[in-house]
Amino acid sequence: MKRVVIAGAGFAGLNAAKRLSRVRDVQVTLIDRENHHLFQPLLYQVAMAGLSPADIATPIRSLFTHAPNVRVLKEQALRVNLERACLITDHAEHAYDYLLLACGAQHAYFGHEEWEPYAPGLKNLSQATEIRRRVLEAFEAAEREPVPEQRRRYLTFVVVGGGPTGVELAGAIGEMSRYTLARDFRTIDPRQTRVMLIEAAPRILMGFDEDLAARAMRDLESLGVQVWTHARVTNISEEGVCVGTEDIAASTVLWAAGVRASPIAATLGVPLDKAGRVIVEPDFTIPGHREVFVAGDLAFAKDESGAPLPGIGAVAVQQGRFVGSAVLADLANRPRPTFHYHDKGQMATIGRARAIAEIYGHKLEGRFAWWMWLLVHIYFLSGFRNRLSVLVQWGWSYFTFGRGARLIVPKEWRAYDGGATTLAATQPPQSVQASPPLHSASVAGGEPVP
């Protein structure tokens, strides 16, 4: 029985595993550092309180309940030993006959990783809930802030990066502040929120048609978003953002400006591109190792015309299915198939009834593009429960402008941090005679301990 090890349960890894799960004489080990498959195109909606985390995430094990040849492990892939043909994780070593690396990418700060504490990126659920916490906390802080200058800082949001993620984040903040939160506060007027989208390139959405990008920019401005192009961020701190020589006071800065491949790519000892992606062969293998595949955001690949494949979910899905088919072809002693990328287009939403889309060469915008965006994303969600839940949430939001996931979940979970903070907070005033504390045995129902 051949052993296939897959690192990463994103679009590429998951689809490769599904294709191989149909063959009994293949043992598949699917490894991911999380226990869930994440539908990343809707991650920004969790960050903007439109959806709950469970709406866009599915437990990986539940997807392979009826596939006994697929073993799922929650581990962190660290490096690959090509000579010994094994994948090394933080818990074990996994020998393979075939290996697929599909560990994805992480956000990059172009050499300024010290900016991350002040400007979180958006690649996983932890980051999404942290962004949600920061955005909602900013409105709460502004509500109780008596100093106008400081209040303006709380109500200033800066999104760095004019790609699809940045555009969607900025549009969602603008829409939420002007519609969802408009009647919820008494001291502040959320409609006065300042939202800024910073992009270093000549325009936003550089991967889209220029006319569609211009439409997206007009839609953003209708939501109160200020779009700065030809603007390069030179510093980010707790006080805000420096763009060129201009300082912008902002309590909330979000990063959507760049990505870098997972560090595991560097352990292969093969050529990488500027973003750290593995430069793969046409069949997504690495030079000299036909048994090692790399797919998804970890791979730098080209289509039949020689153009680089974009880092989007549709590409990863097709690559994952191809890798599964290539392994099956080897097992059947047949030639491997040739990969053909089917470009179905791309989409971006700016807010309620505002979107742009390029589908099979056709340009769509406005309400119709938005409906297409809704249908496509619901269709590709994993699991009927998730599809139904998202459909209900979106329907409710459409008619009420409400956002049902506006929960501020603090990072601290401990009730007792060694006793100091808790005791200090509960210590009665010195003028009041305090009762002696109960001992643990007394609280438990036993005899008091002297």
Rounded to an integer, what distance in angstroms lies between the CA atom of residue 162 and that of residue 258?
10
CB atoms within 10 A of CB 415: 7
Measuring CA to CA, which residue among 12, 9, 10 is closest to residue 280? 12
Q: What is the model's pLDDT at position 94?
A: 98
Exposure string (b/e) for 393-405, b if CB count within 10 Å is 16 or more?
Answer: bbeebeeebebeb
Q: What is the model's pLDDT at position 400?
A: 67
- As given in the structure block, the two tokens for residue 3 are 């052993």
Dihedrals φ, ψ of 427, to 5°?
Answer: -65, 125
pLDDT < 50 regions, the chain? 422-426, 431-450
CB 349 within 8 A of CB 355: yes
Measuring CA to CA, which residue among 87, 63, 65, 62 is closest to residue 76? 87
- For 22-63, give the DSSP string: T-TTEEEEEEESSSEEE-GGGHHHHHTTSS-GGGSEEEHHHH
- Could you identify the residue written with the tokens 């936003």? 204
SS3 404: coil
State the maximum Cα–Cα separation within the chain, in Å, rounded to a whole number.
88
CB 369 within 8 A of CB 211: no
Q: What is the model's pLDDT at position 264?
A: 97
Summarize pLDDT for 7-49 with one digit per residue, the tens: 999 999 999 999 999 898 899 999 999 999 999 999 999 999 9
Q: What is the model's pLDDT at position 299?
A: 98
Summarize pLDDT for 206-243 with one digit per residue, the tens: 999 999 999 999 999 999 999 999 999 999 999 999 99
Q: What is the model's pLDDT at position 344?
A: 86
Q: What is the model's pLDDT at position 159?
A: 98
CB 295 within 8 A of CB 316: yes
CB 170 within 8 A of CB 220: yes
In angstroms, the Cα distances linking 296 to 33, 103, 440, 449 are 16, 8, 54, 62
* Catalytic residue positions, numbered: 168
